[in-house]
Amino acid sequence: MIKSLLHPYSLWLKRFFWLALTGTYISAVLPQDIAPTLGPLSDKWTHFLAFAVLTLLLRFAYRITIVQTVFSLFLYGVFIEVSQYFTPNRCAEILDVVADMIGIAIGVVLYMLFTKKS
């Protein structure tokens, strides 16, 4: 039901996905002292929220499987951490990838709840 409601907006969903993907990467590789924050939320919460949103946008914008979604966003999370290793005032953390995976899992569950047939 929700997929058919969102179908007319698929181009916009794709644009929002790519905008969110680009925004998260830029935010992740900016030096820590000038990187944007989400108020009092910790770094792990921002990873969690970003990847939950990316998961929902990717699932609604493109016709790919859940496995492809999880694998693609996992690789993206690892890519961010590798990039941060080479960024001044940043460090790569395995717990950030764990927070990303939790966000992906919650995004998948929310997607399944939104698209569940009555």
- Map residue 28 onto helix, strand or coil: helix
Reported pTM:
0.86
Task: Give per-residue pLDDT as tens, 61-114.
Answer: 998 999 999 999 999 999 999 999 988 888 889 999 999 999 999 999 999 999
CA atoms of 7 and 4, how far apart (whole Å)? 5
Q: Which pair of structure tokens corresponds to residue 62?
A: 């493109």
**CA 18, CA 12: separation in Å to the nearest integer?**
10
pLDDT in tens, 25-36: 998 888 766 666
Rounded to an integer, what distance in angstroms lies between the CA atom of residue 88 and that of residue 95?
Answer: 19
CA-based angle 87:56:35, to the nearest 5? Answer: 25
- Closest by CA to 72, choosing from 86, 82, 84, 58, is 58
In the structure, how many helices (H) and strands (E) does the chain have? 5, 0
Widest CA span of the chain, in angstroms? Answer: 50
d(CA 110, CA 95): 22
Give the HSE-up count for residue 52: Cα atoms under 13 Å, Cβ half-sphere.
Answer: 14
